[in-house]
Amino acid sequence: MKLKSVLRRGALATLGLGMSIAMTSCEELFNSETGTFDTSAALKEALNIGAQTAAIKLGEDGGYLNDAAVKIGVPDEVSTVVELAGTEAGQTILTLIGAEVFNEGELIQLMNKAAEKAAPQSAAIFADAILGMTIQDADNILFGAQNAATEYLRATTYSGLTVVFGEVVTGVFDQVSVGGKTLNDAWAGFTQYYNKVIDFKERQDLKALAAMLALKAVNAELYHKVAAMDRVNTNLGEYVTGKALDGLFVKVEEKEKGIRTDVSQRTSDLLRKVFGQLDEQ
């Protein structure tokens, strides 16, 4: 019988057992009756390593900000006013409303610093989620795409992780600062700035109409964005949490791919024996 078929039988035999990802020896994980290894436990171990690696890397100074793959950018509302400020017609509008200059870079730094500060605490949250997973059809995941385990983790735990990790992320909003300004301060300043633009474009006076028509004449696409602006509806806590969590999954996926393709990253007997089957494909 081919080893892959044997592994499949073993994986199916483990379904529903909810086995822990505690690092037990290969002798304990080896089933002497069927001659199979615990594929489910190996996948959990790989994900746990990926989560720990992600938490460490993204928790370093500049972990999010200096990594283009996970850097948190500004919400749509911010993008619109930044684009507006970059046009001559937009500058006319901002001058007329007397809006102070909004510092986009400051907000970006603060959002990424908040995610960075929260990242180290994600390892324990991920570990709890992974521990509680019952991996269905573990063999198909093992022999599937290079990010199959990470995608399974995302599909089965993302909603729950968002709630728990969200509390961690929002808890640091007043702990990170740039130039003495916290993330909550920066967001409050932006919303005031943003709402002044809305108040102006909703006025029916001649200055407002003339300024909006001038904007339409030089940049119709931006004009329609501004015309569609409504009161700020982005929940910054949810926004940063979602982006921070997405970044963590990116790093977990990177580690999963490493374990699948690089023998040196299989740091236990279990990982070497189970993931080693991929080398024979």
**Which residues, in sequence order, are CB contacts of 86 under 8 Å at separation 6+?**
none
* pLDDT score recorded for residue 12: 28
Axis-axis angle for helices 76-85, 220-227 (nearest 10): 130
Structural domain boundaries in the chain: 3-15+34-280
Contact 45, 23 (CB under 8 A): yes
Tokens for 209, please give them. Answer: 């109409």
Predicted confidence band of residue 281 (pLDDT cuts 50, 70, 90): low
**Which residues, in sequence order, are CB contacts of 191 under 8 Å at separation 6+?**
232
* pLDDT score recorded for residue 279: 86
Per-residue model confidence as pLDDT tens digits over 141-196: 999 999 999 999 999 999 999 999 999 999 999 999 988 889 999 999 888 888 88
* pLDDT score recorded for residue 56: 96
**Which residues, in sequence order, are CB contacts of 98 under 8 Å at separation 6+?**
196
DSSP state letters, 23-79:
---HHHH-BTTTTB--HHHHHHHHHHHHHHHHHHHHTSTTTTTT-TTT-----HHHH
φ, ψ for residue 29 (rounded to 5)? -85, -15
Which amino acid appears at position 76 of this protein? Answer: D
Tokens for 276, please give them. Answer: 């080693």
Predicted confidence band of residue 34 (pLDDT cuts 50, 70, 90): very low
**Which percentage of the chain shows pLDDT scores above 90?**
54
* 13 SS3 class: helix
Q: What mean pLDDT comes out for the span 41-61?
A: 95
* pLDDT score recorded for residue 91: 84
φ, ψ for residue 60 (rounded to 5)? -75, 160
Closest residue by Cα to residue 6 from 32, 27, 24, 26: 32
Is residue 20 pLDDT above 80, yes or no?
no
